[in-house]
Amino acid sequence: MSIWFTEKQTANFGITAKVNKTLAALQTDYQDLKMVETVEWGNMLLLDDMVMTTEKDEFVYHEMVAHVPLFTHPSPKHVLVVGGGDGGVIREVLRHPSVQKATLVDIDGEVIHYSKKYLPTIAGSLDDERVEVKVDDGFMFIANSEKAFDVILVDSTEPVGPAVNLFTQGFYAGIHKALKDDGIFVAQTDNPWFKADLIHQVFHDVKEIFPVTRLYTANIPTYPSGLWTFTIGSKIHDPLKVKQERFHEVDTKYYTPEIHFASFALPKFVKELTE
């Protein structure tokens, strides 16, 4: 008999994947964590029965969170990642030679531990000498920071459980304070098919705080609907005005300079969420 995992992405729709075996299953202090080996996607991290990342398609999300803002900023030296205990965003951040220090703050240390164990190609860079890992509340860490970071990347789960506060205007105001005078931040903001109201709310909350606010998209097949959005808020620098000489060679599978600009070309029904 085959074993299948199904994520119910809405009350009436879900995706399913054939599972070879369960590698880990536990209740952490914050959420239900499972690591499963799937036939199609390789090892898959599940939090509260939602797909967080897989070995096969993880590069899309992690590259698009990191490289869009890091190529937009002229000289990113100090970078903060909130959430992202799987380490994929950190891995991409370190591809930028200007980065001197990357700080990871994740509330759940078990995510970091099991990602290192079962997702080494994703989490391997967490041991880099430029990386500082903190098991802490990202909301409070941001609240206690001021003009400390060039770029802040919010790699959160969906707005449930410990991630609820990471989708509030107060959090974005805290990010503004924690960024340097020419700072940039990006947050994953879910999908437009099932979470249109969330995207609309986040975009306009960020727009009230940051002079430059943009929405961009990427195709991530194991995330709800496959069409994923990211909201960028910047104090000065516009991701649509990056000069070609800013781009240097990076080892990517999805992100390119062409994709950088093209990802901001939104389908009409998505663009309407920003108006």
Annotated binding site: 31, 62, 86, 106, 137-138, 155-158, 162
Domains 3-52 and 58-274 share a fold: no
Confidence of residue 14 (pLDDT cuts 50, 70, 90): very high
Q: What is the pLDDT of residues 211-261, one digit of tens each?
A: 999 999 999 999 999 999 999 999 999 999 999 999 999 999 999 999 999
Task: Indicate if 155 belongs to the active site.
Answer: yes
pLDDT > 70? residue 89: yes
pTM of the model: 0.95
Indicate the residue type of 78. Answer: H
Closest Cα partner for 105 from 144, 32, 178, 154?
A: 154
Closest Cα partner for 126 from 92, 151, 166, 78?
A: 92
* pLDDT at residue 158 in the model: 63
pLDDT > 80? residue 161: no
pLDDT > 70? residue 164: no
Indicate the residue type of 94. Answer: L
Reduced DSSP (H G I as helix, E B as strand, rest coil) percent helix, strand, coil of the chain, to 5 = 35, 35, 35
For 3-52, the fitting CATH number among 1.10.10.10, 3.40.50.150, 2.30.140.10, 3.20.20.70 is 2.30.140.10
Which alpha helices (H) appear in 73-145, and where do they start and end? 88-93, 109-118, 120-123, 138-143
Domain layout of the chain by residue ranges: 3-52, 58-274
Q: What is the H or E stretch that residue 200 is in? A: helix 196-207
Annotated binding site for S-methyl-5'-thioadenosine: 31, 106, 137-138, 162
pLDDT > 80? residue 157: no
Q: What average pLDDT does the chain have?
A: 95
Fold of 58-274: Rossmann fold (3.40.50)
DSSP string, 11-63: TTEEEEEEEEEEEEEEE-SSSEEEEEEETTTEEEEEETTEEEEETTTHHHHHH
Strand partners, 158: none
Annotated binding site for spermidine: 62, 86, 155-158
- Among the options 155, 182, 205, 251, which is catalytic? 155
Closest Cα partner for 157 from 270, 28, 6, 51?
A: 51
DSSP string, 56-87: TTHHHHHHHHHHHHHHHSSS--EEEEEE-TT-
Confidence of residue 81 (pLDDT cuts 50, 70, 90): very high
Q: What is the pLDDT of residues 124-156, one digit of tens each?
A: 999 999 999 999 999 899 999 999 999 999 998
Q: Report, as an integer, the average pLDDT of 106-123.
A: 97
Q: Is the CB of residue 91 less than 8 Å from the CB of residue 62?
A: yes
